[in-house]
Amino acid sequence: MSTLSRDEVARVAGLARIDLTPDELDRLAGELDVIVESVARVSEIATPDVPATSHPLPLTNVFRADVPEPPVDRDAVLAAAPAARDGKFLVPQILGEDA
Protein backbone atom coordinates (compact mmCIF):
# COMPACT_ATOMS: atom_id res chain seq x y z
CA MET A 1 0.00 0.00 0.00
CA SER A 2 1.04 3.62 0.35
CA THR A 3 4.37 4.76 1.57
CA LEU A 4 4.42 7.59 4.03
CA SER A 5 6.84 10.24 2.75
CA ARG A 6 8.65 12.81 4.85
CA ASP A 7 6.48 15.54 3.31
CA GLU A 8 3.33 13.65 4.19
CA VAL A 9 4.47 13.23 7.79
CA ALA A 10 5.19 16.96 7.95
CA ARG A 11 1.71 17.72 6.60
CA VAL A 12 -0.01 15.40 9.10
CA ALA A 13 2.10 16.73 12.01
CA GLY A 14 0.82 20.17 11.03
CA LEU A 15 -2.76 18.92 11.17
CA ALA A 16 -2.01 17.42 14.60
CA ARG A 17 -0.41 20.73 15.73
CA ILE A 18 2.93 19.21 16.72
CA ASP A 19 6.16 21.05 15.88
CA LEU A 20 8.82 18.56 14.80
CA THR A 21 12.54 19.13 14.34
CA PRO A 22 14.09 18.04 11.01
CA ASP A 23 15.69 15.07 12.80
CA GLU A 24 12.36 14.02 14.26
CA LEU A 25 10.76 14.25 10.83
CA ASP A 26 13.42 12.00 9.30
CA ARG A 27 13.06 9.37 12.01
CA LEU A 28 9.27 9.44 12.20
CA ALA A 29 8.89 9.14 8.44
CA GLY A 30 10.88 5.91 8.48
CA GLU A 31 9.15 4.45 11.52
CA LEU A 32 5.63 5.39 10.50
CA ASP A 33 6.13 3.99 7.03
CA VAL A 34 6.91 0.57 8.52
CA ILE A 35 4.00 0.77 10.97
CA VAL A 36 1.48 1.87 8.34
CA GLU A 37 2.55 -0.90 6.01
CA SER A 38 2.01 -3.41 8.82
CA VAL A 39 -1.39 -2.17 10.00
CA ALA A 40 -2.71 -1.80 6.45
CA ARG A 41 -3.35 -5.55 6.40
CA VAL A 42 -6.70 -4.88 8.12
CA SER A 43 -8.09 -4.21 4.64
CA GLU A 44 -7.47 -7.89 3.69
CA ILE A 45 -10.50 -9.03 5.71
CA ALA A 46 -12.56 -5.84 5.92
CA THR A 47 -14.98 -6.80 3.18
CA PRO A 48 -18.08 -4.72 2.35
CA ASP A 49 -20.46 -7.20 4.03
CA VAL A 50 -18.85 -6.71 7.47
CA PRO A 51 -20.43 -3.95 9.57
CA ALA A 52 -18.14 -1.58 11.47
CA THR A 53 -18.05 -1.60 15.28
CA SER A 54 -17.10 1.56 17.12
CA HIS A 55 -17.69 0.35 20.63
CA PRO A 56 -17.21 -2.85 22.64
CA LEU A 57 -20.70 -3.11 24.12
CA PRO A 58 -24.10 -2.03 22.76
CA LEU A 59 -24.95 1.37 24.21
CA THR A 60 -28.07 3.46 24.50
CA ASN A 61 -28.00 7.15 25.20
CA VAL A 62 -28.24 8.04 28.85
CA PHE A 63 -29.41 11.22 30.53
CA ARG A 64 -28.79 12.29 34.06
CA ALA A 65 -31.53 13.84 36.16
CA ASP A 66 -31.90 17.55 35.39
CA VAL A 67 -30.71 18.63 38.81
CA PRO A 68 -28.08 21.33 39.35
CA GLU A 69 -24.78 20.13 40.79
CA PRO A 70 -21.89 22.22 42.05
CA PRO A 71 -19.27 22.61 39.30
CA VAL A 72 -15.55 22.05 39.80
CA ASP A 73 -14.09 24.94 41.80
CA ARG A 74 -13.12 27.73 39.39
CA ASP A 75 -10.16 29.00 41.36
CA ALA A 76 -8.69 25.51 41.66
CA VAL A 77 -9.00 25.08 37.88
CA LEU A 78 -7.40 28.44 37.14
CA ALA A 79 -4.63 27.81 39.66
CA ALA A 80 -3.53 24.88 37.49
CA ALA A 81 -3.67 26.87 34.21
CA PRO A 82 -0.54 28.24 32.50
CA ALA A 83 -1.93 31.78 32.84
CA ALA A 84 -5.10 33.33 34.24
CA ARG A 85 -6.49 36.82 34.80
CA ASP A 86 -9.77 38.17 36.19
CA GLY A 87 -11.15 34.71 36.85
CA LYS A 88 -10.55 33.57 33.25
CA PHE A 89 -7.94 31.63 31.28
CA LEU A 90 -5.41 34.00 29.75
CA VAL A 91 -4.51 32.80 26.24
CA PRO A 92 -2.42 34.10 23.32
CA GLN A 93 -4.12 35.93 20.47
CA ILE A 94 -6.40 33.51 18.67
CA LEU A 95 -6.03 34.82 15.09
CA GLY A 96 -2.89 35.38 13.06
CA GLU A 97 -2.10 38.86 11.71
CA ASP A 98 -3.32 38.15 8.22
CA ALA A 99 -6.70 36.92 9.44
Partner 1 sequence: MSDDLTRISAAALADRLQAGEVSSVEATRAHLDRIAAVEPAVHAFLHVSDEDALATAADVDARRAAGETLHPLAGVPIAVKDVVVTRGVPTTAGSKILEGWVPPYDATLVERIKAAGLPILGKTNMDEFAMGSSTEHSAYGNTHNPWDLERIPGGSGGGSAAAVGAYEAPLAIGTDTGGSIRQPAAVTGTVGVKPTYGSVSRYGLIALASSLDQAGPVTRTVLDSALLHELIGGHDPRDSTSIAEPLPDLVGAARLGANGDLSGVRVGVITELQGEGYQAGVLARFHESLGLLERAGAEIVEVSCPHFTYALAAYYLILPAEASSNLAKFDGMRFGLRVEPSEGPVTAERVMAATRGQGFGDEVKRRIILGTYALSAGYYDAYYGSAQKVRTLIQRDFSAAFAQADVLVSPTAPTTAFKLGEKLDDPLAMYLNDVATIPANLAGVPGLSLPAGLSDDGLPVGFQVLAPAKADDRLYRVGAALEALLENEWGGPLLAQAPELEVAR
| Binding positions for partner 1, rule: CB under 8 A | 1-2, 4, 8-9, 12-21, 24, 28, 31-32, 34-36, 38-47, 50-57, 59, 61-62, 64, 72-73, 76-77, 79-83, 89, 91-97
CB of 27 to partner 1, least distance (A): 8
CA 48 to chain centre: 28
Q: Look up residue 79 and give its amino acid.
A: A
Residue 5: CA count within 13 A, CB half-sphere: 3
CB of 68 to partner 1, least distance (A): 14
CB of 36 to partner 1, least distance (A): 7
Torsion of CA 50, 56, 59, 63, to 10 degrees: -140
